[in-house]
Structure 1
Amino acid sequence: MKNPVSLLSSALLLAMTSSVFAASSVDLSVKGLITPSACTPSLPGDVDFGKIAAKDLNIDTSTPLERKTLPLSVNCDAATLFAIQPIDNRAGSAIYGYSFGLGMINENQKLGMYQLGFSNPVAETPSTLLAMYNADGHWVTLLPDDGIAPNELVALGSRGDSGWAPHPIKDAIMDVTLYTVIAPAKGLTLTDEVAIDGSATFEVKYL
């Protein structure tokens, strides 16, 4: 009777030992998708507010500047699922959260901020502008007065059985409007000329 008990004990010990060894390693999966289609975004130029006199700025409140609108085009080799992600190249210089910065004065004074609005989409397929906030995977309709913050996603899509979602587009054009304000003048050093130094990158994200 000793041999069966010994064999059973040995089997249990081996199983426990195997579990210990299995817990000492983990696999890494590297995945992705190489798409044959490429999309190129383009803008007609820069946004220039020209010279603004310091005396025309509000002392205690922010000064709104003229709204500026320019067309953003996206052209793809073929119909492609994509979104536009604006990236703030002056991160940390905006006076309000969820906005794009205009640069700094003396490295410690935030000059102002701007937000982006998207409207009037035109594509070969009738499309609605959509936005994804907080990278939560949920798409919602984007109205012209809805501001888009850095790193949020904008896409062209339609409503299906499971809700709003982007659809493939080959060529699209849409208006991008800048809502820009300068910080209260009382907190800015304006004894010399100060450059409005906003910069953003519109990156195509393949979905």
Structure 2
Amino acid sequence: MMNNITKTACALAVLATTSANVMAESIDVKVIGTITPSACKPALTGGGTIDYGVIPPESLNSDSFTVLDEKQVDFSITCDAPAKVAVHAIGAKADTTTNAKGNYGGYDIFNGVIFDTKSINVAGLGKSDGGQNIGGYGIRLVPGSYSVDGQSASLLMRKNASDSWTSSSYDKGSLFSFNTRDLQLTWAEKDGKTPIAFKTVAGKLGVQAYITEASALDLAKPVQLDGLTTLELVYL
């Protein structure tokens, strides 16, 4: 047995020695991969369209804005495995609001009342064919409507990724903020103060629009409401 081991070792040594002076080809071996969070998908009833239908011109106030009814739709997020997820809203056409004040770094503050609350932040409804700003709308996650994996849940908010989480009840779950466009909302256990992981969250999303004074619009032509908000999921 000892002789066999010795011969094998010598043979290897000889091969190594005779190959030392030969230029060898080479090939790289890469070890790659990606660790990703659980995939989560949002869903809205109606495909995400909030339709106010046909609004009779005579129903609009001539010299002041007209607040339309709030419309609520089902909103849910479903994940492959438990994950902590927040919602971030990106409101397009924010510069087409009316009857609002801004320039604070976020979304304009409506001068009237929507969601039964003063000073809710809003995005715009676009412009009419005549170039007039049509109005605005607020968007929110309706407090008290949400359940996480079948259990009642509370809403939390923070102004940016480095901020602390606080209750979102004081502003009725609004997805727009006056001094930031990085606002995030997430869910906690009932009356909890920290985000929780979930597989399913479900509740109501509310939108309430208003139309500028009728005297500022050319109502001899159809006026199309054209608001758009993207809801972005953020993994925490």
Using structure 1 for the length normalisation, give the TM-score: 0.75
Do the aligned partners of residues 79 and 107 (structure 1) sit closer, same or farther apart at CA in structure 2, a change above 3 Å counting? farther
Aligned residue identity for 1:113: G
Deviations 1:49-86 (A, max 9, x none): 11111121111111011110001110011111110111
Are the equivalent residues in 1 in contact too, given 2:88–2:175 (CA < 8 A)? no
Using structure 2 for the length normalisation, give the TM-score: 0.66
Are the equivalent residues in 2 in contact too, given 1:101–1:112 (CA < 8 A)? yes
Give the superposition deviation at 1:106: 3.8
Are the equivalent residues in 1 in contact too, given 2:155–2:173 (CA < 8 A)? no
Give the superposition deviation at 1:48: 0.9
Alpha-carbon separation, structure 2, partners of 1:193 and 1:107:
10
Regions of 4+ moved over 3 Å? none
> Which residue in 2 is equivalent to 1:93?
96
> Which residue in 2 is equivalent to 1:38?
39
Alpha-carbon separation, structure 2, partners of 1:52 and 1:68:
15
Aligned length: 173
Alpha-carbon separation, structure 1, partners of 2:175 and 2:225:
20
Alpha-carbon separation, structure 2, partners of 1:151 and 1:109:
28
Are the equivalent residues in 2 in contact too, given 1:117–1:176 (CA < 8 A)? yes
Do the aligned partners of residues 36 and 130 (structure 1) sit closer, same or farther apart at CA in structure 2, a change above 3 Å counting? closer
Q: Which has the larger radius of gyration?
A: 2
Tell me how large the CA RMSD over aligned residues is: 2.3
Aligned pair 1:182/2:207, yes or no? no
> Which residue in 1 is equivalent to 2:222?
193
> Which residue in 2 is equivalent to 1:122?
147
- DSSP-derived class of the 1:109 partner: coil
Are the equivalent residues in 2 in contact too, given 1:93–1:101 (CA < 8 A)? yes
- Which stretches in structure 1 are left out of the alignment for 5+ residues? 1-32
Match of residue 132, structure 1, among 132, 141, 158? 158
- Which stretches in structure 2 are left out of the alignment for 5+ residues? 1-33, 101-107, 109-120
**Percent pairwise identity:** 29
Do the aligned partners of residues 169 and 107 (structure 1) sit closer, same or farther apart at CA in structure 2, a change above 3 Å counting? farther
Are the equivalent residues in 2 in contact too, given 1:159–1:165 (CA < 8 A)? no
Deviates more, 1:85-94 or 1:125-134: 125-134
- DSSP-derived class of the 1:165 partner: coil
- DSSP-derived class of the 1:127 partner: strand
Aligned residue identity for 1:147: S
Alpha-carbon separation, structure 2, partners of 1:183 and 1:61:
7
